[in-house]
Amino acid sequence: MKKILITGGAGFIGSHVVRLFVKKYPEYAIYNLDKLTYAGNLENLTDIEKYPNYHFIKADIVDGNKMFELFQQYQFDGVIHLAAESHVDRSIENPMEFIMTNVVGTVNLLNAARKIWKDSTGKKMFYHVSTDEVYGSLGETGAFTETTPYMPHSPYSASKASSDHFVRAYHDTYGIPIVISNCSNNYGPNQFPEKLIPLFINNIKHQKKLPVYGQGINVRDWLHVEEHATAIDTIFHKGKIGETYNIGGNNEWKNIDLIKKLIEIVDRKLGRPDGTSLSLITYVTDRAGHDLRYAIDASKLKNELGWEPKIKFTEGFETTVEWYLANEKWLENVTSGSYQEYYRKMYDNR
Ligand code: NAD
Ligand code: DAU
């Protein structure tokens, strides 16, 4: 039986990766390691928590000794590393947490793998999940390829870029078998409502202001989270050691256009007259260092490993809105308590 460590499995993308692996590979033992920060939520996994091949470990990747002990105890065959502080706005408020988890935490995992895998690296795989934000910002044309130079602008993207460099360096220096993917913006169920789409669905539902940063002209390339999970599955099993793969949705949207589409869908699903919530749009102070445009050239992944996105955005977007409207309890649970404080801090004086 293969033992796979998935870090950050209680978060948005991690929970979809854990579900896919637990269900698709009953012959693997899946270990979900998560600190359960504000973004980690075991409610995301209630449907698979009783599967015999699923195990949960509550731990902090910043604790290097603990990572070593766990690698020694379980002798993992593979790692899919998603645990991270992931929200750009929080990184602007508190960069240190991002450096600790995203950089130090990643290096702790690499150190544990280096020590425990020293005689058997050929059979192992350390998969580091990263972001397109490491490449910086594009102008009106072009797309990021795997060879685009790194130029991060936020503390979040700088910490992810740094972790990518360490992962590559541990491959080149110590022979750790690694693979890295850099993905564009994900949407779908279970995303914490600090990120644009779930935040705005929740605000439209409650008729609260929609804080659009700057002029709303920034462009993001949106991919359904379940497709990110299938891309990770493909790369984990077929990716070439030492390589990087870009993952994207071929689906660019200007923020303001995406927001208007979201308003149209939410109003329709709640039985409100078309255009009811357009007046909630409120232009607020821009995000510092706000990247103008991201776009991914994912042709390497398509040509070499045969993966490409299949979910049509129009359908994925509708079902995503339906999920948030149907899962009221989930939304209520994650937006109670410290979320209110976060919201006031981020948006009250913007
Ligand atoms: P998320 O914030 O929803 O989840 C992060 C998870 O990591 C949470 O469960 C949290 O509890 C856990 N975690 C945080 N610090 C930890 C620590 N010190 N020790 C152990 N666990 C810890 O994030 P997400 O959006 O699911 O992103 C997952 C990964 O994918 C990240 O590495 C992120 O950089 C990357 N990524 C995200 C996107 C996106 O659009 N969300 C796109 C590309 C790449
Ligand atoms: O590109 C991949 C990245 O996508 C991931 O690495 C990050 O973890 C993930 O958070 C996401 O980063 P973004 O900054 O692009 O996502 P966010 O949802 O925070 O913002 C999307 C766009 O919407 C961005 O241009 C900022 C804007 N925005 C966001 C919020 C929260 C607003 O206009 N208003 C808001 O209130």
Residue 123 pLDDT: 85
Mutate which of 220, 281, 348 for ligand 2? The one with the most ligand atoms within 8 Å of its CB, which is 220
pLDDT, tens digit (0-9, with 9 covering 90-100), for 23-79: 999 999 999 999 999 999 999 999 999 999 999 999 999 999 999 999 999 999 999
pLDDT at 122: 72
Q: What is the pLDDT of residue 121?
A: 65
pLDDT value of position 337: 82
For residue range 301-320, what is the model confidence (pLDDT) as tens digits? 999 999 999 999 999 999 99
Distance from the CA of 228 to the center of ligand 2, in angstroms? 17
Q: Which CATH architecture has domain 3-191+222-253+292-312+340-346?
A: 3-Layer(aba) Sandwich (3.40)
Closest Cα to atom 29 of ligand 1? 82
Any idea where the domains of the chain sit in the sequence? Answer: 3-191+222-253+292-312+340-346
Q: What angle do CA 317, 323, 329 make, to 5 degrees?
A: 150
Q: Output the CA 153–ligand 1 centroid distance in Å.
A: 19
Q: Ligand 2 centre from 185 Cα, in Å?
A: 8
pTM of structure: 0.98
The list of the chain residues with pLDDT below 70 reads 121
